[in-house]
């Protein structure tokens, strides 16, 4: 529950420190004293948007600090998940500097507004006149129905499935866009790949091909010259080998006289062996060399194809050309992979869509039952607050499209008078009727939610007399299970207060400031009497106030 609220330098509040208790806390006060400003300040502590215009003194920072007793609300997992120290008395603080910077803390740990709002949703439910207008919005009505139905887990599972389905549909859309472009380029890429692949240029060496072509084109000359070399080395009357053999013989004959001659002989012998090798290799090449027109044509075609493709693709080597071929092949494979992935995702989407539909159907069934329960409970509360003939219905129809809350179209239907056709709540209910409908809904939610603190900001607008007394009874009933903080202008409701806070204005150094006081029993009676009769309090009004409080 909310234990205290300290506000510094906010709007017309210089500094107040408010203590709250269990049960029914009532806030009353002078017109314009700042009752709703308290709610605005609390909203800051709960993560609402900050504005430097709210500063009481422009050269000082605004600080709002709310203390909550949370030991009974199973919030340790939230604190652990967000790396915040858990304290049974948790302190939420919001600071707004004069230059507009905003900071938020939970137990002195800096937190984001998103974390702050998430925590606030678990601690407080604020209902105001603005909230009454929210009641006309479909999403708000669905939220109410889900709260009554205790659909938190089911709704979480549905949203998880729905978000997964939407993410898959987005992937499919992106892949289809990509696939369309790949499809446009597919024929081009296939042609380019085939042209390079069909040229059979893998692992060829242009220099070697050019050398081989040069040899083939000059085969007769090469063969003739090689045969001439063979003759010079060994076949002419006077040839190289014959002369070397004679030199070798001469040196061997004198080798016995000096080792140097033996060495010379061995060197000549090595030359003889080398020249014989040369002769043999020249003979072999000469025998193998012949004019091969078919091979020349084949090599010429390969060489021309290579040069043509290199010029076409503006590359300098066969290696670059092969890299291009691999690139074209990768694009073709990408198209095929995209197709396979697209087929896989479409099957996944079909399965996910079935999950979404199944969970949406469960939500629909749960809401239908909750709608019946809501009708019964709300009509009973409306009867208590002076509308015994009011009829309330929850209309739930299935939509074609699915959203983050399912495919239900929810509409609260109402008529204050039995026997008349039901119409949407926003088209038929007056301000006072709307306030009582909202109160009835909050009374229902109080039975179905674990929120420790409920705040009603003048939702009793348009109510008076006997109806106000019955509304007060509803407030009292709610406060037996929840801490209820209500801002009201009705004495019948204020009289029920277990803790009565009175807001008033005072002047400080020529500047108006809001003050707040917790009233004792005597001042509580006086405040009720003033609400009954105005500023002039008579013995009769005091007596009426005591009677109202006693009743």
The pLDDT profile of the chain, 551 residues, written as one tens digit per residue, is 999 999 998 888 888 999 999 999 999 987 776 777 888 888 888 888 877 677 877 778 889 999 999 988 889 999 999 999 999 999 999 998 888 788 999 999 999 999 999 998 888 887 765 555 667 778 889 988 998 999 989 999 999 999 999 999 999 998 888 777 777 777 787 788 888 888 887 777 777 777 767 767 777 777 778 778 878 888 776 688 888 888 888 888 888 888 888 888 889 888 888 888 888 887 887 777 776 677 777 777 777 778 888 888 888 888 888 888 888 888 777 777 778 888 989 999 999 999 999 999 999 999 999 999 999 999 999 988 888 899 999 999 989 899 999 999 999 999 988 788 898 887 876 777 887 888 888 888 888 776 678 888 877 777 778 888 888 888 998 898 889 999 998 999 999 999 999 998 888 777 788 889 999 999 999 999 999 888 788 889 899 999 999 87
DSSP-derived letter for residue 53 is G
Long-range Cβ contact pairs of 371-374 (< 8 A, separation 24 or more)? 371/145, 371/396, 373/148, 374/144, 374/145, 374/148, 374/441, 374/444
Q: What is the pLDDT of residue 292?
A: 63
Question: Could you tell me which of 139, 1, 147, 174 has the C-alpha nearest to residue 72?
Answer: 1
Q: What is the pLDDT of residue 131?
A: 58
Q: What is the pLDDT of residue 35?
A: 77
Q: What are phi and psi of 87, to 5 degrees?
A: -130, 140
Query: How far is residue 176's CA from residue 346's CA, in Å, rounded to a whole number?
Result: 11
Q: What is the pLDDT of residue 342?
A: 85
Query: How far is residue 428's CA from residue 433's CA, in Å, rounded to a whole number?
Result: 9
């Amino acid at each position: 529950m909310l234990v205290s609220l300290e506000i510094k330098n906010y709007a017309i509040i210089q500094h107040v420190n408010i203590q709250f208790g269990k049960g029914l806390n009532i806030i009353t006060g002078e017109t314009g004293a700042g009752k709703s400003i308290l709610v605005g300040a609390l909203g800051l502590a709960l993560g609402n948007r900050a504005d430097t215009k709210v500063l009481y003194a422009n050269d000082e920072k605004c600080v709002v600090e709310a203390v909550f007793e949370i030991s009974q609300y199973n919030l340790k997992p939230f604190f652990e998940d967000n790396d915040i120290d858990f304290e049974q008395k948790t302190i939420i603080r919001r600071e707004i500097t004069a230059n507009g910077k905003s900071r938020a803390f939970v137990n002195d740990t800096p937190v984001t507004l998103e974390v702050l709002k998430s925590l606030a949703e678990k601690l407080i439910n604020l209902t105001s006149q603005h909230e009454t207008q929210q009641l006309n919005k479909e999403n708000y009505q669905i939220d109410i129905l889900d709260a009554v139905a205790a659909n938190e887990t089911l709704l979480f599972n549905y949203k998880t499935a729905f978000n997964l389905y939407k993410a898959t549909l987005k992937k499919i859309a992106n892949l289809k866009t990509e696939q369309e472009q790949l499809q446009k380029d597919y024929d081009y890429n296939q042609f380019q790949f085939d042209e390079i692949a069909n040229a059979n240029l893998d692992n060829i060496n242009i220099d070697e091909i050019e050398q081989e072509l040069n040899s083939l084109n000059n085969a007769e000359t090469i063969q003739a010259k090689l045969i001439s070399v063979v003759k010079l080395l060994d076949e002419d009357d006077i040839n190289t080998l014959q002369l070397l053999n004679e030199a070798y013989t001469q040196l061997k004959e004198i080798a016995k006289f000096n080792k140097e001659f033996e060495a010379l002989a061995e060197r000549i012998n090595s030359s003889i062996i080398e020249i014989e090798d040369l002769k043999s290799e020249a003979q072999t090449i000469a025998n193998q060399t012949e004019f091969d027109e078919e091979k020349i044509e084949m090599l010429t075609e390969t060489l021309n194809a290579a040069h043509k493709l290199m010029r076409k693709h503006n590359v300098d080597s066969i290696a670059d050309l092969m890299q291009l071929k691999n690139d074209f092949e990768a694009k073709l494979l990408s198209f095929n992979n995209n197709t396979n992935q697209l087929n896989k995702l479409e099957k996944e989407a079909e399965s996910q869509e079935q999950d979404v539909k199944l969970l949406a159907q469960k939500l629909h069934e749960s809401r239908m039952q909750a709608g019946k329960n809501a009708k019964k409970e709300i009509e009973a509360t409306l009867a208590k607050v002076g509308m015994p003939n009011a009829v309330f219905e929850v209309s739930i129809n299935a939509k074609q499209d699915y959203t983050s809350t399912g495919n239900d179209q929810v509409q609260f239907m109402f008529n204050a008078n039995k026997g008349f056709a039901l119409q949407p709540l926003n088209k038929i209910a007056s301000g006072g009727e709307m306030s009582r409908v909202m109160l009835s809904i909050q009374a229902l939610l109080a039975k179905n939610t674990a929120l420790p603190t409920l705040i009603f900001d003048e939702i009793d607008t348009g109510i008076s007399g006997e109806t106000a007394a019955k509304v007060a009874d509803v407030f009292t009933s709610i406060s037996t299970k929840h801490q209820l903080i209500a801002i009201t202008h009705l004495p019948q409701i204020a009289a029920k207060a277990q803790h009565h806070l009175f807001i008033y204005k005072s002047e400080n150094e020529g500047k108006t400031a809001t003050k707040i006081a917790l009233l004792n029993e005597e001042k509580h009676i006086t405040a009720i009497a003033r609400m009954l009769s105005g500023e002039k309090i008579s013995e009769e009004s005091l007596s009426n106030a005591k009677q109202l409080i006693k009743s």
